[in-house]
Amino acid sequence: MNLKKYLTLTRAGAMETLQYRASAVVIVLGNLLYLTIVYFLWKAIYASSPSEVVNGMTFYDTLIYLVLAAALAASIEMYTVWMIGRDIQSGKIVLDLLKPMEYRSFYFWSMAGSMVMNFLMTFIPTFIAVEIMTHGAIHIGMNIVWFLIALVFAVLINYSIDFIVSTICLFTESIWGINIMKQVIIMLLSGATIPLAFFPDKLRAVVDHLPFQSIYNAPLSLLLDSTGDVRKAVTTLATQLMWCVVMTVISKLFWNVSVKQITVNGG
Amino acid sequence: MKRKSLGFYIRIYFKILAQNLKSQMSYRADFIISTIGMIFTNIAGFVSFWILFTNFSEINGWGYYEMLFLYGFSLVAVTPVQCLFDNNWNLRRYAFSGDFIKYCFRPINLFFYYQSEIFDIKGLGQLAFGIGTIAYSWAKLGLECSILSILKMVVFLISASLVMIALQNAAAASCFWIENSFYILDFVTKLKDYAKYPVTIFSQVFRFIFTFLMPIAFIAYYPALVILRPEEPSVLSWLSPVVGIVMFFISYKIWMRGATRYNGTGS
């Protein structure tokens, strides 16, 4: 595999992201507002609760988890469905299909640049801020390594799901509705809006057997785990790897079958 | 220019509406998927409350059904902005491409004509879900049900929607002054997701901010209090219709100022 051509795409994407600084300010403001709401909401929830520890999580555990989840979401959300959907409607996708590169990889590597940029500019500062404010509540050791591996799997699973949903757009030509459904399902069932520890047992059992929890819950629980339990890390990563393979195969097959059948507005 | 009567505007609105619905109905699949997507988001909000309340019996003195009531109220209150003012989302594009100039030459009110052009039907699913949620929690809470209370409900729902409409108008109109205004509109739209929480969970400072600077408390909390806890509404609750009307008027003036200032792209 010639990696250089892919990295060129990635670099172009990274530079494109750096162009939009003014909008970044508004996005940061939006995220800060979200965190304010989350802080007060959970503070009120814990203040009304008779015990300080609920489902094994204290107020600060929950807060750290949710803050990092929001930062992670801001880093790995790539609006893939939205972008590919638009290219389908306008017909521009035809030009990309003609490129001497598999479309799925082409798109991934173009997006990887802004993903790396967002990770460096959103997740890392958030992580440092949390670490300073909590006086080092997050243990630094092997868990960082597990987290980084889990993050790569999470990104790949997330991309495969996005790609499957985008392929559905080839048939429906409806983007908004499909995209919003995907977003809602992932944010709720991955534990990004409410930590999975709070889910009722039956719902938890279902969610544990779905791929979504591998996107947010898996990397974050590995990062926040201070016990250094190697067995837990290996099981989590193995589950992620399994979903990664399954989702990649499904998304590739689905795309290859679909792309032969569709007709798009001649771009 | 002669002032047109209200009857004239109502007649013309339904004429434009009929044309718009006809064109939207030719994309039936998109309509169905979008409506399902909308209801999906609402169900996710409902499920989040349900998960929270399986762990906690109350939040800051607010019970499950009271929170649901606020949630339903906020959903219904943001329906008009979704259905009737959705064309605000296209404003930036029209202004940028120069297409906006066509609206300036119609012999009717510019704001009226622009907004009447699109009626977003997918908002109706949210309306139904919101009314269902209100009715369900209303019955569970055993709130007074008389003609007067329903009338009050309608009046305060309309006041609440005017606040959201005003915020969105002003945000959309920012495109006449600022180039990359999409993020401002997006930011303001996210505010409606935070309207469902009682303002009492916030600290004094943020209570002030959410009441006077970013008035999201007027989208559900203050107006809903009149029905939900009739014994304790504050002056602000009774003032919410005035706040709604004043805010709408100001946003209309801003919007019109931007629009009359607009002088096309020269093409």
For residue A227, the tally of other CB atoms under 10 A from its CB is: 8
Q: How far is A68 from chain B (nearest CA, A)?
A: 19
Q: What value does the mean pLDDT take over residues B65-89?
A: 93
Q: How far apart are CA B252 and CA B247, in angstroms?
A: 9
Does residue A266 form part of some domain?
A: no
Q: Is it the case that residue B117 has pLDDT exceeding 90? A: no
How confident is residue B253, by pLDDT bands cut at 50, 70 and 90? very high
Residue A221 has a pLDDT of 92
Q: CA-based Rg of chain A, rounded to a whole angstrom?
A: 20
The per-residue DSSP string of A207-245 comes to HHTSGGGGTTHHHHHHHH--S--HHHHHHHHHHHHHHHH
Q: CA-based Rg of chain B, rounded to a whole angstrom?
A: 20
Q: Is it the case that residue B87 has pLDDT exceeding 50? A: yes
Residue A220 region by backbone torsions, left for phi larger than 0, else alpha for psi between -120 and 50, else beta: alpha
Residue A265 has a pLDDT of 55
**Cβ atoms of residues A222 and A236 within 8 Å:** yes
Q: How far apart are CA B48 and CA B104, in angstroms?
A: 45
How confident is residue A105, by pLDDT bands cut at 50, 70 and 90? confident
Partner-chain residue, chosen from B44, B47, B190, that has the shortest CB–CB distance to A30: B190
Residues B193-205: tens digit of each pLDDT: 899 999 999 999 9
**Cβ atoms of residues B81 and B161 within 8 Å:** yes
Output the CA torsion sign for B115, B119, B122, B126.
positive
Q: Is it the case that residue B73 has pLDDT exceeding 60? A: yes
How far are the Cα atoms of A151, B41, B158, B194 from residue B70, in angstroms, in the given order?
37, 16, 15, 11
Residue B98 has a pLDDT of 83
Q: How far apart are CA A180 and CA A162, in angstroms?
A: 12
Q: How far apart are CA B41 and CA B34, in angstroms?
A: 11
* N residues, chain A: 267
Partner-chain residue, chosen from A41, A48, A187, that has the shortest CB–CB distance to B197: A41
Residue identified by tokens 């999975």 is: A196
Q: Which residue of A19, A27, A33 to mutate against B (max B Cβ within 10 Å)?
A: A33
Q: Is B46 on the interface with A (CB under 8 A)?
A: no
Residue B204 has which token pair? 């004094």
The per-residue DSSP string of B93-108 comes to HHHHHTGGGGGGGSSS
Q: Which residue of A27, A180, A187 to mutate against B (max B Cβ within 10 Å)?
A: A180
**Weakest mean pLDDT among A61-70, A150-159, B54-63, B160-169:** B54-63
Indicate the domain borders of chain B. 6-261
Q: Is it the case that residue A5 has pLDDT exceeding 80? A: no
Q: Could you give the residue ranges of the DSSP H alpha helices within chain B?
A: 6-25, 28-55, 64-77, 79-84, 88-97, 110-116, 123-141, 147-173, 182-194, 204-208, 221-228, 235-261
Residue A267 has a pLDDT of 42
Partner-chain residue, chosen from A45, A172, A180, that has the shortest CB–CB distance to B29: A172
Residue percentage of chain B with pLDDT more than 70: 97
Total domain count for chain A?
1
Residue A158 has which token pair? 């997330």
Q: How far apart are CA A84 and CA A86, in angstroms?
A: 5
Residue percentage of chain B with pLDDT more than 90: 42
Q: Which residue of B26, B41, B54, B59 to mutate against A (max A Cβ within 10 Å)?
A: B59
Using a CB-CB cut-off of 8 Å, the residues of chain A touching B52 are: 45, 194, 198
- Name the more confident of B166 and B117: B166
Report chain B's mean pLDDT, rounded to a whole number.
88
Q: Is it the case that residue A30 has pLDDT exceeding 90? A: no
Amino acid sitting at position B79: T
How confident is residue A68, by pLDDT bands cut at 50, 70 and 90? very high
Strand partners, A57: A54
Q: How far apart are CA A121 and CA A75, in angstroms?
A: 9
Q: Is it the case that residue B116 has pLDDT exceeding 60? A: yes
Q: What value does the mean pLDDT take over residues A90-114?
A: 83
Q: Is it the case that residue A8 has pLDDT exceeding 90? A: no
How far are the Cα atoms of A122, B120, B125, B161 from residue B83, in angstroms, in the given order?
34, 4, 10, 11
Residue percentage of chain A with pLDDT more than 70: 94
**Weakest mean pLDDT among A42-51, A76-85, A152-161, A242-251:** A76-85
Q: Is B203 on the interface with A (CB under 8 A)?
A: yes
- Scanning every residue of chain A, which has its alpha carbon at the shortest distance from the alpha carbon of B62? A48
Instruction: Tell me whether residues B187 and A198 touch, CB distance under 8 A.
Output: no
Residue percentage of chain A with pLDDT more than 90: 43
Instruction: Tell me whether residues A177 and B184 touch, CB distance under 8 A.
Output: no
Using a CB-CB cut-off of 8 Å, the residues of chain B touching A29 are: 187
- Scanning every residue of chain A, which has its alpha carbon at the shortest distance from the alpha carbon of B39? A181
Residues A169-208: tens digit of each pLDDT: 888 777 888 889 999 999 999 999 999 999 999 999 999 9
Using a CB-CB cut-off of 8 Å, the residues of chain B touching A203 are: 51
Q: How far apart are CA A228 and CA A250, in angstroms?
A: 34
Q: Which residue of B30, B86, B126 to mutate against A (max A Cβ within 10 Å)?
A: B30
Residue B229 has a pLDDT of 87
Partner-chain residue, chosen from B30, B48, B180, that has the shortest CB–CB distance to A23: B180
Q: What value does the mean pLDDT take over residues B136-162?
A: 91
Instruction: Tell me whether residues A174 and B187 touch, CB distance under 8 A.
Output: no
Strand partners, B59: B62
Does residue A267 form part of some domain?
A: no
Single out the residue of B226, B194, B193, B210 nearest to residue B126, CA to CA: B193
Q: What value does the mean pLDDT take over residues A110-118?
A: 85
CB pairs under 8 A between A and B: 101
Instruction: Tell me whether residues A187 and B44 touch, CB distance under 8 A.
Output: yes
Report chain A's mean pLDDT, rounded to a whole number.
86
- Greatest C-alpha distance within chain B: 63
Residue numbers of the domain that contains A71:
3-261
Distant-in-sequence, close-in-space partners of B201: CB < 8 Å, separation ≥ 6: A40, A41, A43, A44, B59, B60
Residue A55 has a pLDDT of 85
Residue A54 has a pLDDT of 86
